[in-house]
Amino acid sequence: MSLGPYQTLLVEMVAPHVLKVTLNRPEVRNAMNTQMGHDMLDLWTRLTADAGEVRCVVVTGAGQAFCSGGDLKQRDGMTTEAWRLQHELFERALWTLIDLPVPVIAAINGHAFAGGLEFALMCDFMYASEDARFALTEASRGIMPGGGGTQNLPRAIGERRAKEIILTARPFSAQEAFEWGVVNRLYEPAELLPRVMETAEAIAANAPLSVRQIKKSIRYGMQMELRTAYRFEIEAYNHLIGTEDRLEGIRAFNEKRPPKFAGR
């Protein structure tokens, strides 16, 4: 499967079954312009249709930032209609990302502000550099979060703290992000990507059909009444019973060897 090349993204397989995606506009702290919207939508759509050998995705930023949000220089003087059309493109890209069947880990190597933080919150979870900074700054620019921020942040850290962050538009530190549950782990800058890769490779080594069903069960089950979610989980579980990977997993355990999952 061929992915890219893209004008604003670097896409490369960096380990067996692990795809690394780098937001590549470092001169503007990887701000999202219209082209990046098109590139992301194309990439996530292709991976949704056929992930091929990809079993886990790592997303990070080039240079000293993860993503500073929408490109306000491009937006300066933009007509209302052009702004809406661009935002609809960003919406489609983000919604396609959150529904991606394979897991996506965000490696926050620097600032994740505004739409950049919203983008990270669309990933399954994130690790961050100890010097990273976070903010949803939209209220200080006359707009509001429109990439899921008012929904994903309170679900991650609770309603009251999310209101404080969004209404004040004040940045918060990586340590605060860790303590509040925005990020899973913190690392020194040089250690961030190696540690993220360890986690991505561990996920990619597991049965890919199992990983997909688990992600789907958690994502949709969290939106259901609990008893219905239990039933949804069992439906996902039952899809795995007849797979070759289930037979391989049990066989490998009894033969005391690592399993070789084929995604079938």
The CATH number of whichever domain residue 226 belongs to comes to 1.10.12.10
Residue 126's domain is classified under what CATH number? 3.90.226.10
Which residue segment(s) compose the domain that 195 sits in?
9-204
Q: Mean pLDDT throughout 20-31?
A: 98
**pLDDT band, residue 251 (cuts 50/70/90):** very high
* pLDDT tens digit sequence for 169-189: 999 999 999 999 999 999 999
Across the range 107-122, mean pLDDT stands at 98
- For residue 248, indicate whether it is catalytic: no
Annotated catalytic, 235?
A: no
Type of residue at 202: A
- Judgement on whether residues 51 and 84 belong to the same structural domain of the protein: yes
95 and 196 in a single domain? The answer is yes
Q: Look up the pTM and report it.
A: 0.95
Look at residue 4 in the predicted model and tell me its pLDDT.
Answer: 80
Active-site entry in 81, 88, 118, 233: 118
- Residue 186 contacts residue 178 (beta carbons within 8 Å): yes
- Residue-wise pLDDT tens digits, 30-45: 999 999 999 999 999 9
Q: In the prediction, which pLDDT does 21 show?
A: 98
User: Of the residues 12, 130, 138, 176, which is catalytic?
Assistant: 138
pLDDT at position 211 over 90? yes
The verdict on residue 186 lying in a domain is yes
Residues 200 and 211 in one domain: no
Same domain, 176 and 249: no
Is 259 among the domain residues? Answer: no
Residue 161 is predicted with a pLDDT of 98
**Residue that the structure tokens 């470092």 belong to:** 26
Inform me whether the pLDDT recorded for 1 exceeds 90: no
Tell whether 111 and 91 lie within a shared domain: yes
Q: Where are the extended beta strands (E) located within the chain?
A: 9-15, 18-23, 56-61, 65-67, 104-108, 111-113, 125-129, 133-135, 172-173, 185-187
**167/237 same-domain check:** no
92 shares its domain with 133: yes
Mean pLDDT computed over 17-29:
98
Q: pLDDT band at 233, cuts 50/70/90? A: very high
For 72-98, how does the pLDDT look when each residue is reduced to its tens digit (9 = 90+)? 999 999 999 999 999 999 999 999 999
DSSP assignment of 182-240 equals: S-SEEE-HHHHHHHHHHHHHHHHHS-HHHHHHHHHHHHHHTTS-HHHHHHHHHHHHHHH
Is there a single domain that holds both residue 159 and residue 229? Answer: no
How does the average pLDDT of the chain come out, rounded? 97
CA distances from 241 to 8, 119, 195, 214 (A): 41, 34, 32, 14
Q: What is the mean pLDDT of residues 8-23?
A: 97
Number of domains within the chain: 2
pLDDT of 168 higher than 80: yes
